[in-house]
Amino acid sequence: MSGERDLGNVRRVVVKVGSSSLIYPTGRPNLSQMEKLVRQLADLHNQGREVLLVTSGAIGVGQYRLGYTRRPKTIPEKQAAAAVGQGMLVHIYEKFFAEYGVTVGQVLLTREDFSDRRRFLNARNTLYTLLRLGVVPVINENDTVAVEEIKLGDNDNLAALVSTLVDADLLILLSDIDGLYEADPRHCREARLIDQVREITPELEKCAGGAGTSLGTGGIVTKLQAARIAMHSGIITVLARSTEPDVVRRVVSGESLGTIFWPSGRMDNKKRWIAFSSTVCGCLYVDEGAARALLEHGKSLLPSGIIRVEGSFEMGNTVSICDPAGKEIARGIVNYSSPEVERIKGLQTKEIARVLGYKDYDEVVHRNNLVLDV
């Protein structure tokens, strides 16, 4: 069903734009497209809304300046291209925004800024301060220092995590596609655009393909991942084509453009961090009784229900909790290290002190530190 969408209460907006929307196939920046985007964002800012821009394109712009004919493949080459391209990219944004009297601030993030709770809160405070001062944050992954272990991998997920970080009302993913289709429109001309999504089902996930262009790193897969994070965080998400005239203004005004993903709930800040930002350090496999206790009765995870331990983790780390078939059913912060859990798995709570020589907690994962159906 299509039609007008009620987005009148939207006050804080995160807009993500992909490389293919910013850079010509030649590798040069698409200044016309960038200027149009900035004008729309500046107009939102002038309306009194808070705007954050998550932008790709640093590596793409840098590779052109460095003379690469295609996207670099090694980490050092990508980092060199990002170091050159990021400065060029922000300079362009700064110049365009300044024409409308808007100040921008560059913010570069890595996964560690989300997975480490202290850094997470520091990043949150920085962004809140910039918004309070009337600054538009221009955000990108810090590709100049990120290696595979700490890379977020794509800016769709970065944008979703930024949205949860600042409690955004709306996330707009601008791309080179019109929205989510029932099938890949490049191969199926009869494929229809899906106007609204209220649940990301396995059938919807089958619609997803790989990266769309040589300049980009994402695709429909990463956009669905981003939408899922936002939906569970109480944030509306819209996926639309970046070249659609006045696309941002029209989306915010409630016009039916692209695909809208409606929120399915709103976790509190701590649980959102556990579910989407923290690094998963291991896995606890539980028996069917423990799985039912977690999913159906909201119980904590006790050592008696644990049948297997994987990975190396310390107290306070986040772990995945899986049923006997290996399906992830929850994530949570553990009260014991992996060697300790290995020793007490399958035992009753009253036996913890006898086996370990101490008992700091009854639960391996307390329900207050547990997130279901991630």
DSSP string, 76-124: HHHHHHHHHHHHHHHHHHHHHHHTTT--EEEEEE-THHHHSHHHHHHHH
What was the pLDDT predicted at 146?
A: 55
Strand 280-286 and strand 318-322: the pairing is: parallel
2 annotated among ligand-binding-site residues? no
150 annotated among ligand-binding-site residues? no
What was the pLDDT predicted at 11?
A: 95
220 annotated among ligand-binding-site residues? yes
221 annotated among ligand-binding-site residues? yes
What was the pLDDT predicted at 13?
A: 98
155 annotated among ligand-binding-site residues? yes
Determine the Cα–Cα distance for residues 93 and 185; give it in Å rounded to an integer: 32
- Which run of H or of E encompasses 161? helix 155-165
Q: Domain 12-271 carries which CATH code? A: 3.40.1160.10
Across the chain, which has 374 residues, the per-10-residue mean pLDDT values are 73 94 85 96 96 91 84 83 90 96 95 88 95 97 62 81 95 92 75 89 69 49 91 94 94 93 84 89 96 94 97 95 95 97 96 95 95 81
Query: What is the domain partition of the chain in residue ranges?
Result: 12-271, 279-372
143 annotated among ligand-binding-site residues? yes
Determine the Cα–Cα distance for residues 184 and 190; give it in Å rounded to an integer: 10
What was the pLDDT predicted at 47?
A: 94
279 annotated among ligand-binding-site residues? no
Q: Domain 279-372 carries which CATH code? A: 2.30.130.10
What was the pLDDT predicted at 197?
A: 93
- What's the angle, vertex CA 132, arms to CA 127 and CA 138, rounded to 5? 40
SS (H, E, C) 293-342: HHHHHCCCECHHHEEEEEECCCCCCEEEEECCCCCEEEEEECCCCHHHHH
Other CB atoms closer than 10 Å to residue 367's CB: what's the count?
A: 17
169 annotated among ligand-binding-site residues? no
218 annotated among ligand-binding-site residues? yes
Overall pTM surpassing 0.85 (yes/no): no
* Cβ contact 334:306 at 8 Å: no
E strand residue ranges, the chain: 12-17, 50-55, 104-109, 136-141, 170-175, 196-197, 236-241, 259-261, 280-286, 306-311, 318-322, 328-333, 370-372
223 annotated among ligand-binding-site residues? yes
* Cβ contact 133:125 at 8 Å: no
